[in-house]
């Protein structure tokens, strides 16, 4: 797909999702883990790419000297500004723009991170190289996203595309590990957690057609205790629970 067209799909999708995104409690999970792994401090100048509604940016701003959040969707940045105000944070600036290429000079930030974005990128390798470029030597590069075994990718992508047409494809742990074997990176570290979202919350945060909603529900209900989708669907009475396997990858720039 041509990049400009895909960017328009992203903006259309996340303009709809913007107001409800921060309200999904699961989106605020494991922030403490990111803070601890990165060892962010008042010395750090942080860049959060594809920052969305600013959840990660605001978390890091409580510890960092300064945080810059960049996103392609203005409606998401409006929500980020609201979250910033709610937290009374003055050390954040928001940039409307694309992440490939990044509109920043080389070696500008001590921590460069991105969460829940790589499955939206048409050319994630280029985005990753840009993250490394703008990171200081000795700085941290961190990516957080769902990662699945190869055998789950096709079914998962089918499910996600029903819910979110800006999804390009889930990556495997092997792909992320290969990215982080970049010659400019060292001291690789990883962590993992499951992001639990109940089906009703996921549906309320999505904007599907009636046809796609019915297909989505069918996929979920048929996957209980099978895990073909890779999200460990479980049923408790009339409620379905989804457990997304989220991986954290981090390395130091040489």
- pLDDT band, residue 82 (cuts 50/70/90): very high
Round the average pLDDT of the chain to a whole number and report it.
Answer: 96
Collapsing DSSP to helix, strand or coil, 127 comes out as helix
pLDDT for 18: 83
What are the φ/ψ torsions at residue 183 (nearest 5 degrees)?
-65, -20
What is the token pair recorded at 32?
């403490």
Give per-residue pLDDT as tens, 21-46: 888 899 999 999 999 999 999 999 99
Torsion angle of the four alpha carbons 228, 188, 178, 151, in this order, in degrees rounded to the nearest 10: -10
Residue corresponding to tokens 């996929």: 219
Whether 57 has a pLDDT exceeding 80, the answer reads yes
Domain ranges of the chain: 3-196+245-253
d(CA 12, CA 103): 22
**For the chain, percent of residues with pLDDT exceeding 90:** 93
Give per-residue pLDDT as tens, 114-172: 999 999 999 999 999 999 999 999 999 999 999 999 999 999 999 999 999 999 999 99
pLDDT for 9: 93
d(CA 95, CA 120): 19
Spell out the CATH class of 3-196+245-253: alpha beta
Whether 1 has a pLDDT exceeding 70, the answer reads no
pLDDT for 22: 84
Whether 62 has a pLDDT exceeding 80, the answer reads yes
Residue corresponding to tokens 């701003």: 61
CB 81 within 8 A of CB 145: no
Exposed, middle or buried by CB within 10 Å (0-12, 13-18, 19+), for 228? middle
């Amino acid at each position: 797909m041509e990049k400009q067209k895909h960017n328009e799909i992203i903006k259309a999708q996340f303009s709809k999702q913007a107001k409800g995104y921060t309200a999904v409690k699961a989106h605020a999970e494991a922030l403490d883990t990111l803070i601890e792994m990165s060892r962010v401090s008042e010395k750090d100048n942080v860049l959060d790419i594809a920052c969305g509604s600013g959840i990660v940016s605001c978390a890091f701003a409580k510890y960092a000297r300064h945080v810059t959040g960049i996103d392609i969707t203005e409606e998401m940045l409006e929500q980020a500004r609201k979250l910033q105000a709610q937290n009374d944070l003055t050390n954040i600036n928001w940039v409307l723009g694309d992440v490939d290429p990044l509109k920043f000079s080389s070696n500008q930030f001590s921590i460069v991170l991105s969460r829940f974005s790589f499955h939206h990128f048409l050319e994630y390798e280029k985005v990753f190289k840009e993250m490394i470029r703008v990171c200081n030597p000795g700085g941290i590069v961190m990516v957080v996203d769902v990662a699945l075994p190869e055998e789950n990718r096709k079914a998962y992508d089918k499910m996600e595309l029903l819910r979110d047409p800006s999804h390009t494809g889930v990556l495997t742990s092997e792909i992320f590990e290969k990215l982080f074997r970049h010659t400019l990176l060292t001291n690789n570290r990883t962590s993992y957690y499951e992001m639990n979202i109940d089906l009703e919350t996921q549906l309320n945060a999505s904007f599907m057609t009636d046809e796609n909603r019915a297909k989505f529900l069918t996929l979920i209900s048929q996957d209980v205790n099978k895990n073909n989708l890779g999200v460990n669907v479980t049923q408790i009475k009339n409620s379905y629970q989804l457990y997304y396997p989220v991986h954290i990858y981090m390395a130091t720039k040489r």
